[in-house]
Amino acid sequence: MDAIIKRIQKEIDTFTPVKHQEEVGHIKSTGDGIVEIEGLENAMMMEMVLFDKTHDRSLEAALKDDSLTYGLVLNLEEDGVKAAILGESNTVYEGMLVRRTGRLLSLPVGDELIGRVLNPLAEPVDGKGKTGAKTFVPIERDAYSVIERSPVNVPLHTGIKAVDAMIPIGRGQRELIIGDRYTGKTTIAIDTILNQKNESPKNRPICIYVAIGQKESKTARIVAELEEKGAMDYTIVVTASAAEPAAIQYLAPYAGAAIGEYFMDRGQDALVIYDDLSKQAVAYRQLSLLLRRPPGREAYPGDIFYLHSRLLERAAKLSKDKGGGSLTALPIIETQENDVSAYIPTNVISITDGQIYLESDLFNKGLRPAINVGLSVSRVGSAAQTKAVKKVSGTVRLELAQFRELEAFAQFASDLDKDTKDRIDSGRRMTELMNQDKGAPMPFEEIAAILFAAGDDLLNDVDPAKVRELEAEFKTFLAREGVMVLEAIKKDKEISEDSAKKLAELVKTFKDRS
Amino acid sequence: MNARIYAAALRESLEGKTASEQGKVLTKFLKYVKARRHEKLLPGILASLKKGGTEKGKETLIVGRKKDVVAARKAAGTKVGATIDPNLVGGWQHFKDGVLTDASYKRSLMELYRNITK
């Protein structure tokens, strides 16, 4: 044993550690999640830096706590840099050594992330252990050019009748969901994720839900609902709660986009929901003010538009040469007192390919989803609508528009002609038909069948208050006796003549029985 | 203008000058500050001067053991005075112009630990 000890001792005495050279700086000041670093003259913008906790500690103390705290370089200044702390601020102190990593901020991506709940650095927060993802991609990258894209022509079914009929969304589109607090914005997003279960596994997009500045209880509830309904099998949740530093909330949407792009680049479809970008704008404003960048309108920095435009431009439908994959974005913006003409809402409306506008008045009246059809639009339109739904939804929007005009008139007029009364009643029935329960998305073939039936006088002379009940009964009837027709519509993606004939017969049978 | 910029300018102006020249520079500097009515910044200027310059120009040599000093100076190519920090366990660290050359046992052991526990 003595001989062994002596030999090991000799090895230690003659040990020559390898020299390692790197550019370092020291923290000059720190506060509110921002550090001012002296040195690091060659640091890059958006480079990750490492706050070295071990530098002035003993080896034993360093080994006990070997967690790494990173920072993100956001300001390049004359004699140093400013960086945001991506982690616990209380572990960073003045005089601390800061090392360059030479890497721009990147995160691990892969199929291993599916079903997991992560933070914006792709670290798991669901307590299920490491993800094991090994492919690193930069959190920010340039959007695909015009030549590399193809037109949006494949529908993304939300399972919500009002949306799929009148505001159809395509894969690769950016459709904004905008409205006041508690108007059902998140519900539309979650129902869209749940509805992807009705797609075949080959056709099903990978869904990424990015929670920005949300209450952790809300995110936990959403994850529980997705798990309960089996949607976590194809969903990734990225969360940066209200308790996280502003830098983490700022990065969350870009992390979601980077994860979605991984799947898009492999020829798959992906859907990313940013809930919500108003909170990202507020976080970015906080960061910019702390970095002493000049404030502009409403104290937002001058590049607040670019914050959202470069994020949303990453959604695309790629050309066949690039694999044909797509990334669909559903950004959410919260308005104050239904003001869509405010700064951030108007910015994002001008970037996206349409908006779904939710009104609190409609919500309080019982219309759910509380979509204002008049102000909502999909700029891609019927190019991204399944033929089956397109065929039967043509007149719905027009009918509802006419109803809205007449509805106000009807409150004041005492004597209405029969035609006007009929239109008002028809509009009321159609409005009721557009109502849908939360968490109950419908497959497109069912939506097509119901709208077909509505157009085929199913709702004639029905009391508007009883429309939902009738719809539920008809759905049950279809599930029992219309399975073949629904299968045919699902397979063909359109209502053929034969299917139309059979549907008409089913409607007649149903009406005769009830 | 802030205290840090004044201090940096003063530091640069004093570099390479004799004691009497430095005295003249300092007199002119104080006259300038008073003329600009920035006397309130003088405590901040003093604090910044005491803190030292930017990373450029700073040089330090830290060794883990006394017997590492000679080897460290030779390897780093410097004659600057060495500080002993037992936390390094052995080996040395040389810092100059914002670049850290780390040949300490501590770094090697930390790297070994991280590789083993990955």
Candidate list A103, A141, A310, A379, residue with the active-site label = A379
φ/ψ (deg, to 5) at A487: -65, -40
Through-space distance between the first and last CA atoms of chain A, rounded to whole angstroms: 95
pLDDT in tens, A454-483: 888 778 878 888 999 999 999 999 999 999
Q: In this complex, is the C-beta atom of A24 within 8 Å of any C-beta atom belonging to chain B?
A: yes
A180: its two tokens: 């006041």
Structure-model confidence comparison of residues A424 and A259, the more confident one: A259
A282: its two tokens: 């507020």
Q: In this complex, is the C-beta atom of B59 within 8 Å of any C-beta atom belonging to chain A?
A: no
Hey, which bits of chain B come out as E strands? 59-63, 82-84, 91-96, 99-104
Would you say residue B54 has pLDDT above 60? no
- Comparing A82-86, A155-159, B66-70, the range with the smallest average pLDDT is B66-70
Give the best residue of A29, A38, A66, A68 to mutate against chain B (max B CB count within 10 A): A38
Q: Which one-letter DSSP state was computed for residue B87?
A: G
A420: its two tokens: 């006007």
Q: Which residues of B touch A58 (CB under 8 A)?
A: 86-87
Length of chain A, in residues = 514
pLDDT band at A17 (very low <50, low <70, confident <90, very high): confident
Q: In this complex, is the C-beta atom of A134 within 8 Å of any C-beta atom belonging to chain B?
A: no
Q: In this complex, is the C-beta atom of A56 within 8 Å of any C-beta atom belonging to chain B?
A: yes
Q: What is the pLDDT of residue B56?
A: 61
Q: What is the pLDDT of residue A9?
A: 81
Q: In this complex, is the C-beta atom of B9 within 8 Å of any C-beta atom belonging to chain A?
A: no
Question: Whose CA is closest to A52, among A79, A76, A23, A32?
Answer: A23
pLDDT band at A401 (very low <50, low <70, confident <90, very high): confident
Task: Give the helix ranges, DSSP H, for B36-104.
Answer: 42-51, 69-76
Structure-model confidence comparison of residues B14 and A212, the more confident one: A212
Distance, CA of A331 to chain centre? 6
CA distance B22 to chain A (A): 24
pLDDT in tens, A25-51: 999 999 999 999 998 989 999 999 999
Helix, strand, coil proportions of chain B in percent (round to 5)? 60, 15, 25
Q: What is the pLDDT of residue A234?
A: 98
Region B6-22 average pLDDT? 87
pLDDT above 90 as % of chain A: 78
pLDDT in tens, A48-75: 999 998 887 888 888 887 778 999 999 9
pLDDT in tens, A402-415: 888 887 777 766 67
- Rounded to whole angstroms, what are the CA distances from A350 to A273, A291, A305? 18, 28, 10
Query: What ipTM score was computed for the predicted complex, to two decimals?
Result: 0.70
Region A223-249 average pLDDT? 97
pLDDT in tens, B72-112: 999 999 888 899 999 988 899 999 988 999 999 998 888 88
φ/ψ (deg, to 5) at A421: -60, -40
Structure-model confidence comparison of residues A307 and A398, the more confident one: A307
Q: Which residue of B has its CA nearest to A130?
A: B118
A433 and A469 Cβ atoms separated by less than 8 Å:
no
B33 and B68 Cβ atoms separated by less than 8 Å:
no
CA distance A32 to chain B (A): 21
Q: What is the pLDDT of residue A8?
A: 81
CA distance B37 to chain A (A): 25
In the residue annotation, A379 being an active-site residue is answered as yes
Q: Which residues of B touch A63 (CB under 8 A)?
A: 110, 113
Distance of alpha carbon A220 from alpha carbon A126, whole angstroms = 10
Q: What is the pTM assigned to this prediction?
A: 0.89
Q: What is the pLDDT of residue A374?
A: 87
